Amino acid sequence: MSRHDEFDVVVVGGGSAGVAAAAAAARSGARTALIEQAGCLGGASTIRNVLTYCGLYTLGEETRQAVAGIASELLGKLRRLGAVTPPVRHRGVFVIFDPEAVKRSLDEICADAGVEVFMHAFVSRATRDGERITEIGFRDHGGLHRLRAKAFVDASGDCDLAFFAGASTRYGNYGAVNLGTLGTRFGGIPSEIVVTTEQLRSAIDAAKARGVGPLSKDQSVLARLPISNDLCCYFVSEDYDPRDSGSISDAERRGRQQAWIYLDILRRLPGCENAYLVSTGPDFGTRESRHINSVYQLTWRDVAEGRRAPDSVALGAWGVEWHDRTTFESTWTAPPDGSAYEIPLRSLISENTPNLFAAGRTADGDQKAGASLRVMGTAFATGQAAGAAAAMLADGGSVAPDTLRARLRAQGALVDLEALRDLPVIA
């Protein structure tokens, strides 16, 4: 049966950014729909085995939490479930979590906020009237359904809503696109066994010398999960176009092949003889796809020069984490002094579709800024800002930055560097 309904705000994508956007919009009084193509919320954190929240904390010696609000609510729920670690320092600062607990917690956040969630729903069309989107269409096994709204948030990761709506978008950053990685999770390794990056790199290099392959990387963050003690690794990388089903299908097949080869190598380490593959992905961890072209593109020069944004609505704290599509090597550049930077509202608003907001990795940053603000911790911040802005637009027809910043502060969010300086040092 086809569905037709009307909302104030429609959010596309139920990952970190999308949940934060939908909850913020609903708490602002907007009737809000959240459209997610998977069977759970969480995006990369639940369907891509990306089990570290990066971007929540500053990276300097005096670490502070840079993203609060809805992200803090989630962390509180995970702590009560024993499902998240304290902050871990490895190049960056992050926490490691159990994905099943994330699914439950995000369900609760959306239900408590009154968000109407549609899972197993893929947005495949959008209608605009002049410069504004008026309606989206999504498909499920019942066919095509249409939802009308006054404001929209694209948190799809691939900028599906913006693209189908005819909003201005681009793929990557003018030829540069961050490489994707397939998260692989291994069980059967006793908790007392310590697996180091040096051990694994040596074992991988020895395997390559024996002619074992294909193997894309010999270095990775190694994350031991709470509860299960499973080991999550990010060795498997492939070059693919996430917009193309054939391209990504081939990458996933090759990626799963690699995962089994890495398992054989892992089993050669002392104490890891009974290791087994718990899961791959199931989706590749796409780091970059389309972006909206926004009113203002955040640049890494803005960050490097410490430029302030009068309309700042979120903080970014992760570094430029770039994974090269040719060499498969990664590079890293931290923000100045390991602190945070301000993300302007202008970088979340479409340049040619004023009732469309972007959140997460659809937000507009240049190659380096985009490689920083894309991570899940920062996505909670841009999502909360975009959702609150969408609700304000739906209610009054415009968004006043100062009023929006006050609303975000009332929701517990950190909107500028002044708020960060008042916080205690946590590590």
Which pLDDT score, from 0 to 100, does residue 90 have? Answer: 86
Can you say whether the dihedral through the CA atoms of 140, 145, 147, 153 is positive or negative?
positive
In terms of phi and psi (left: phi > 0; alpha: psi -120 to 50; beta: otherwise), the region of 7 is beta
Distance (Å) of CA 28 to CA 73, 355, 398, 407: 17, 16, 14, 8
- How far is it, in rounded angstroms, from Cα 36 to Cα 3? 16
Q: Does residue 265 have a pLDDT over 60?
A: yes
Report yes or no: 179 and 237 within 8 Å, Cβ to Cβ: yes
Query: pLDDT, tens digit, for every residue of 341-396?
Result: 999 999 999 999 999 999 999 999 999 999 999 999 999 999 999 999 999 999 99
Residue 223, number of CB atoms within 10 A of its CB: 23
- 421 vs 410, higher pLDDT: 410
Which pLDDT score, from 0 to 100, does residue 340 have? Answer: 97
Q: Does residue 201 have a pLDDT over 60?
A: yes
- How far is it, in rounded angstroms, from Cα 228 to Cα 225? 6
pLDDT band at 3 (very low <50, low <70, confident <90, very high): low
Residues 6+ positions from 12 with CB-CB distance below 8 Å: 18, 35, 123, 136, 152, 153, 154, 155, 156, 160, 161
- Both tokens of residue 235? 């060795």
pLDDT band at 262 (very low <50, low <70, confident <90, very high): very high
Report yes or no: 21 and 45 within 8 Å, Cβ to Cβ: no
Indicate the SS3 state at residue 262.
helix
The count of C-alpha atoms lying within 13 angstroms of the C-alpha of 240, restricted to the half-sphere facing its C-beta, is: 25
- How far is it, in rounded angstroms, from Cα 217 to Cα 211? 15
> What value does the mean pLDDT take over residues 244-254?
97
Which pLDDT score, from 0 to 100, does residue 280 have? Answer: 97
- Tell me phi and psi for residue 169, to 5 degrees: -135, 170
Query: pLDDT, tens digit, for every residue of 133-158?
Result: 999 999 999 999 999 999 999 999 99
Indicate the SS3 state at residue 332.
strand
What does the mean pLDDT of the chain come to? 96
* Range of lowest pLDDT (2-16, 37-51, 137-151, 246-260): 2-16
Q: pTM for the whole thing?
A: 0.97
Which pLDDT score, from 0 to 100, does residue 421 have? Answer: 87
Token pair 């190598």: residue: 265
Q: Is the peptide bond before 344 cis (omega within 30 degrees of 0)?
A: no
